[in-house]
Amino acid sequence: MLRATRWASVLRQPIRPRLGRFHPGARSLTGGSRIDQKQAAAEATPASAPSSEEKARRRVHFPGARNSYFTDQMDFISGLDEAIPTYQVMDNEGKVADPSQDPNLSQETAVKIYRNMVTLNLMDVIMYEAQRQGRISFYMTTYGEESTVGSAEALDPQDVIFGQYREAGVLLHRGYTLRDFMAQCYSNRHDSGKGRQMPVHYGSRELNFHTISSPLATQIPQAAGAAYALKRAGRPHCVMCYFGDGAASEGDFHAALNFAATLKCPVIFFCRNNGFAISTPVEEQYKGDGIGYGVHSIRVDGNDVWAVYNATKQARELATQQHVPVLIEAMTYRVGHHSTSDDSSAYRSKKEVEDWKHKDNPITRLRKYLEARDWWNEQQEADLRTEMRKQLLAAFAAAEKEKKPALSELFTDVYDKSPQHLQEQERELHELIKRYPEYYPVDDLADK
C-alpha cells in the first residue's frame, strides 16, 4: 500500500482500533495495545508531524527514496496499524446505501449478469456431481465468487484476460458457451484446447481469454508483458489479470507488480481474496493487511457485484488513460471445496461454510437488488433455473457422447511445425497401435 501516505495518516489522525469485518482475508486488523501507544504518542507530540517546508528542507539525497525526508524520531513502521477499508455498494439485503454509487445499469444488463451468475452456479452443481460420478476427471467450482461476472461486464470485449482457474464466470459472461465448457471438461473433439489439459483449464482466442495453466501466478508477469504490448500497439485497451490470495505469495506476483509499475503497463490485477489457498488460511499466507504493492489499490466487497463492477470500471479508466497498473482486492469466501480432490471439512467447519452460504452470497444479494426494482420475481427465478438446468444437462449429455480429439493431436502444436524427431515418434506410436490394438483402443477418438 502507499506506505508514506498511510504513515502520515497515522500521525495525523486519532486511531480507533476497528474490529475486522467478516471477510476472512481482512479480519485480523489491529492489536490494541500497540495502537494505543502510538495514538498516545501522536496526541502527546502533535509537533512530531513535520511541516511541508521542513520536509522539503530535510529531503534525503539518496536516489532510492527521493521523496523521503530526515526525521529524528525513531519509529518502526509495521503497515498493520490501519486496515484498508472495503468498498461496498449494496449490503446483504441488496440495499444501496449511497445512491451515487449505484452503477444504474439497465434492467437488461443487470438481469444478464444475474442470469450468468445463476447459470455458473448451476453448472458447478452439475459438473461437480459429474466428477463425483467419475464422468470427468477433475473440477473446480466458483461457489461464492460468482460476482467476478461484474468485473467482466466492466471490461471491453477487446480487453485481454489472463486468469488463474476460478474465473469461469468471466468466460461465461464474454460468450463462452455451455458446449465450450463441457467440451473442455470432457476433453472431447470440440475442445479448442484439443483435450490436452485438465478440466477447467479454459481458453479462447476469440474471446481474448488466454488459456489457463496450472502453475500459480505465472500469468501475472505475463499479463504485464501483454499490457506493455497493447500500449506499444496504441490500442485503447487494458489487460485484466485474475489470481487468488495464495498465488500472490509467489515470486511472480512480486515480479509482475514491480514490472507493471516501473514499465507503466495498462493492467488490472484482480485478486480474489477468498480466505483460503487449499487448506492454508490467510493467517498463514501473509502478515500484512491483505494484498498490496505500492500501486493504485482498492479493496472491495467481493460479494457485491456492483462494488466489483464499479471498481473494475474505474480501474480500467486509470489503466487505459494513465497507463498505470491498478490492484483490486475483492474480499470474498471460498464456499466450495478447493477442487474435487479436496474435502475442505478437514480444515474448516461445515458450519462456517454454511453460515457464509446463507448470510452473505453474491447471487442472493443481486437477486434482492433486482427484486426491489421489480426486475425479477419468483416465477422468473423458477423459470430460469428450470430452463438453464435443461440446457446444461443437454450440453452435458451431448459433450459426453462426443468423440475425443484425433490421435494426431498428441503430436501437433509442440512447435509451429512438427520437427523430424516428433514425426518419427508419431510413426512409432502408430506401429505400436497396429501391433497391440487390444492395448490401445482408438474407437473413442475422432478420425481427424
Which residues in this chain contact another protein in the complex, by CB under 8 A?
A: 160, 162, 191-194, 196-197, 201, 203-205, 210-211, 213, 215, 218, 220-230, 232-233, 239, 251-252, 254-256, 258-259, 262-263, 409, 412-416, 419-421
Chain-centre distance of CA 138, in angstroms? 20
Q: What are phi and psi of 420, to 5 degrees?
A: -55, -45
The residue among 150 and 195 lying less far from another protein, judged by its C-beta, is 195
Q: How would DSSP label each residue in 27-96?
A: -----HHHHHHHHHHHHH-GGGS--HHHHHHTB---GGGTT-B--S------S-SSPPP-B-SB-TTS-B
Tell the smallest beta-carbon distance from residue 205 to another protein (Å): 4
Tell the smallest beta-carbon distance from residue 201 to another protein (Å): 7
Tell the smallest beta-carbon distance from residue 34 to another protein (Å): 33
H or E segment at 161?
Answer: strand 160-162
Tell the smallest beta-carbon distance from residue 324 to another protein (Å): 16
d(CA 368, CA 332): 19
The residue among 36 and 413 lying less far from another protein, judged by its C-beta, is 413
Tell the smallest beta-carbon distance from residue 81 to another protein (Å): 28
The residue among 90 and 216 lying less far from another protein, judged by its C-beta, is 216
Of 267, 379, 387, the C-alpha closest to 319 is 267
Per the document, the length of the chain is 448
Q: Is 306 helix (H, G, I), strand (E, B) or coil?
A: helix
Q: What are phi and psi of 271, to 5 degrees?
A: -95, 120
Q: Where are the alpha helices (DSSP H) in 360-419?
A: 362-372, 378-401
Tell the smallest beta-carbon distance from residue 391 to another protein (Å): 25
The residue among 304 and 409 lying less far from another protein, judged by its C-beta, is 409
The residue among 16 and 232 lying less far from another protein, judged by its C-beta, is 232
Catalytic residues: 129, 214, 338-339
d(CA 275, CA 102): 27
d(CA 428, CA 431): 5
b/e per residue 396-410 (b: at least 16 CB within 10 A): bebbeebebbbbebb
